[in-house]
Structure 1
C-alpha cells in the first residue's frame, strides 16, 4: 500500500486534485468529510464542542453551525487549539480505520488540510501540495463559497504559508491555470510516479540509476534529505537512531549524481536485520539484495561491512547505508563529508575527478571503483585535518 498525504491552503484546489486522483483509482480519505462526521448530531465530538464553546455554535436544527464556530476559532488561537484537541484525535482514528480497510495494493490519498501544521508529513510515502497564488485563492473563495474577503484572508493567515508547505512537499502541483491543466499534472503524477512507487513498495524493489550522470549542485538537496530522514526516523521509532546526510549531495556547491546518500547508525550491524529492515521497506526504503561493504582505506583493515537500502520512489533515488556505530566505515563517511565541506581545494579537485570519470566511465560500478586511488590519498589528508582541528564524528 502506498500512502500519500495531500494538502494545500484553503482555496488552492486541493479537493479538485483529490477528485482527479479518485477518478484514476486512488482510495481518498477526506479528512474534512471525516471532521464533519465526528461532530455530527448525537456524537461525543459535538457534545465536547458545545461544552467548550456553548450552544452559540449550534444551528436551529441542533447541528453544528460551522460558520459560527469558524468565526470564534479563526480569530482566537487558543480557541482553535481547543477545537483541534477535540476533533483531531477523532479524525486520526477514523482515518486509520479507512486506511486499514483499503486493499494491499491500494494507493491511499489522505486529504488533510492541516497536514503540515500538525506534523504528519513523515507518516506518508509522499506528500503532495496543491499551491495557488493568494489573489487567485481569494477570488475563488468569494466566487465559489461566497466568503467575505476579510474572512478569507483571516483563514489563509491561520494556515501554514506556501514556504512552509513547500518544505514538506515532495510534489507541488501549481493550480493557477485551468482545470484541464491541473488534471494533466495529476494524471502525469499518477502514471509516472504513484503507480510505479506503489508497485515498488509492494514488491520490495529499489530504484537504482543505471548510469552516472552528474548534475550541478541542487540547493534543495539538504531539504530533500531532511524529508527523507524524517520518514526514516518515523519508520524506525521508537528506536532513536542517528541519521546523517553523507556523500556528495551533503557537500554544498559540489556537483553530484542526483542520489541522496544517508547513513543510519545502529549499535550492532545485526540490528539492521529483521524487524528494522521490514520497517524501512514498508516506509519505502527496501533492502538491496546481496552483501555490501566499503573498501578499506588502511593496510590491514578488514572489509567494512554494512547493509544497503534504496528508495522505492522512482523520482527520488536514495542509498541508505546502515553502519555500526564507531566502525571505520561509519567514521570514514562522516570524516570525508566534513573534510570536503571544510577544504575548498580538495573539493575542487574531487569535482574535477568526478567530471572526468563520469565522461569516461558512465556505469556506476566502474565510476565508483575508479575513484578509489584518489580517496586513498584524500583519506590521509582528511586524517591529518582531523588531528589538526580536533574533529570528532
Structure 2
C-alpha cells in the first residue's frame, strides 16, 4: 500500500484535506479519532490519565473532559510528556491494527497532528503538510472552535514550528486562502501524483525523469535529505553511509530534475538483500542496470572487468519526485568516483562550467528522441567526458 502522512498545525485545515482524499477513495486513519477512542470510558487509557492527572479531568458522565485535561497537560513540558507517554503507545497499537486491515492496493492517509514531533515522516512514502500562518490558525481556533486565545497560543507553541513542518513536507498545501480554494489542489494531487505513485509502487515501476535540464533548485538538497531519511529506515544497519550525489548535489548547477542518491554497502550481497525493503519504501529496482560504465582502473587498464563497477540501481516510484538510488560496495571505483566527482564539481567552478556545457550538448542530442534512443544519445555524449574526468581525478 501507499502510506501518506498528513499533518499541519492546529486550525490549518487538515480535516478538509482528509475529507477530500477519503471521498476520492483513500483509506483514512485519523489519529485524533483514535486518540479519543483509546481514552473512552472504560478503557485502560482513561484510567491511566485519571491516575496521572486526577479525577478533575472527568466530566459528570465519567467521560474525559478534554479542556480540563488540556489545561493540565499543556501547562508544562513534564505534564505534556506524561500525557504522551500514556496515549502514544495506545494510539500506535490501534493504528497498527488499522494499517494491517487495509487492502494491499490502498492509498492509506494517516492524519497525524504530531507527525513531526514524533519523528514519523521517514516512515511515510509521502508527507503532506497543510500550511497556514500561525496567526490565521489562532484566529480560526478562536472564531470557529471556541478556544480561548491564550489556550490556542499555548497549544500551538507546544507543537512543531511552521519551519519544522515545511522541512519534512514533500507536498506543501497552502490553505491560507478562501474556504474551498484548496479543494482543486487536493483533487489534482490525487489524480496526478497519489494514484500513479500507488500504481508504480505496487507494480515495481520507477517513475521516469525527463532528459531535460532545468535551472538549479535550492530545494534539491532538502528533497534529497527527505529521501535519505526514508532510505535509512529501509536499509537499517545494511547501509554504511547514504549520500546525495550527482548534479543536484552541486549548488547552482543546472541539472535534470532527478535526485541521485548513493547507498554504500559492504558488498553486492548486502545490496541484493535490500530489494524488498527498498521496494516497500517506494524505490523499486531497475533490473536492466547492474553496473556503471567501466573505466580504466589500476590492475585493469582496459576497464574490461565489469565486476569492479558493479552496482544496483533503484528508482523512486513517485512521479512527483523522480530519483535514482545507486547501491555500490564500499571502496569500489564507482563508489569512490561518485563522491569524488561531486566534491570536485562543488569546489571547481571551471569544472562545473565545463560539465554544464557537456550536459547541454547531450540534451541537444537527445531532443526529439524518446525511450532508449534518447538515453543512448544523451549518455553517448556524457560517458566519454566521464571517462576523461575519471582520469583527471586520479
Q: TM-score range by the shorter chain?
A: over 0.9
Q: How does 1:164-183 map to 2 (within 5 A)?
A: 164-183=164-183
Q: Which residue is equivalent to 1:390?
A: none
Q: Which residue is equivalent to 2:197?
A: 197
Summarize the Cα distance change of 1:291–1:354 in structure 2 as closer, same or farther, 3 Å threshold: closer
Cα displacement (A) at 1:229: 0.7
Cα displacement (A) at 1:113: 0.2
Cα displacement (A) at 1:347: 1.1
Q: Deviations over 1:18-75 (max 9, x none)?
A: 1111111111000001001111111111111111111121122221111011111222
Aligned residues: 381
Q: Which residue is equivalent to 1:2?
A: 2
Q: Which residue is equivalent to 1:281?
A: 279
Q: Deviations over 1:142-170 (max 9, x none)?
A: 12111111211111111111111011010
Q: Which residue is equivalent to 2:302?
A: 300
**1: CA distance between counterparts of 2:316 and 2:208?**
8
**2: CA distance between counterparts of 1:315 and 1:234?**
21
SS at match of 1:119: coil
Please identify, of 164-173 and 370-379, the stretch whose mean Cα deviation from structure 2 is larger: 370-379
**2: CA distance between counterparts of 1:238 and 1:291?**
24
Matched, 1:351 2:351: no
Cα displacement (A) at 1:4: 0.3
Say if 2:239 and 2:263, in contact at 8 Å, map to a contact too: no
Say if 2:362 and 2:379, in contact at 8 Å, map to a contact too: no
Q: Deviations over 1:156-200 (max 9, x none)?
A: 111111111011010011112233221111101110111111111
Matched, 1:376 2:381: no
Q: Deviations over 1:58-103 (max 9, x none)?
A: 1222211110111112221111011101101110110110011011
SS at match of 1:331: helix
Q: Which residue is equivalent to 2:220?
A: 221
Say if 1:233 and 1:241, in contact at 8 Å, map to a contact too: no
Say if 2:363 and 2:378, in contact at 8 Å, map to a contact too: yes
Q: Deviations over 1:304-352 (max 9, x none)?
A: 1111110110111111111111111111111111111111111111112
Please point out which of 334, 338, 341 is paired with 1:333.
338
Q: Which residues of structure 2 form unaligned runs of 5+?
A: 368-373
**2: CA distance between counterparts of 1:22 and 1:125?**
18
**1: CA distance between counterparts of 2:48 and 2:41?**
12
**2: CA distance between counterparts of 1:198 and 1:190?**
10
Summarize the Cα distance change of 1:238–1:179 in structure 2 as closer, same or farther, 3 Å threshold: farther
SS at match of 1:294: coil
SS at match of 1:263: strand
Cα displacement (A) at 1:367: 1.4
Cα displacement (A) at 1:214: 0.5
Q: Which residue is equivalent to 2:370?
A: none
Cα displacement (A) at 1:238: 4.7
Cα displacement (A) at 1:361: 2.8
Say if 2:20 and 2:183, in contact at 8 Å, map to a contact too: yes
Summarize the Cα distance change of 1:182–1:99 in structure 2 as closer, same or farther, 3 Å threshold: same
Summarize the Cα distance change of 1:314–1:139 in structure 2 as closer, same or farther, 3 Å threshold: same
Say if 1:2 and 1:125, in contact at 8 Å, map to a contact too: yes
Summarize the Cα distance change of 1:290–1:23 in structure 2 as closer, same or farther, 3 Å threshold: same
TM-score using structure 1 length: 0.94
Q: Deviations over 1:95-141 (max 9, x none)?
A: 11001101111111000000001100011110000111223212211
RMSD after superposition:
1.3
Q: Which residues of structure 1 form unaligned runs of 5+?
A: 384-393
TM-score using structure 2 length: 0.94
**2: CA distance between counterparts of 1:234 and 1:342?**
31
**1: CA distance between counterparts of 2:287 and 2:384?**
27
Q: Which residue is equivalent to 1:121?
A: 121
Please identify, of 75-84 and 136-145, the stretch whose mean Cα deviation from structure 2 is larger: 136-145
**2: CA distance between counterparts of 1:238 and 1:345?**
38
**2: CA distance between counterparts of 1:294 and 1:237?**
25
Say if 2:231 and 2:281, in contact at 8 Å, map to a contact too: yes
SS at match of 1:63: coil
Q: Which residue is equivalent to 1:232?
A: 231
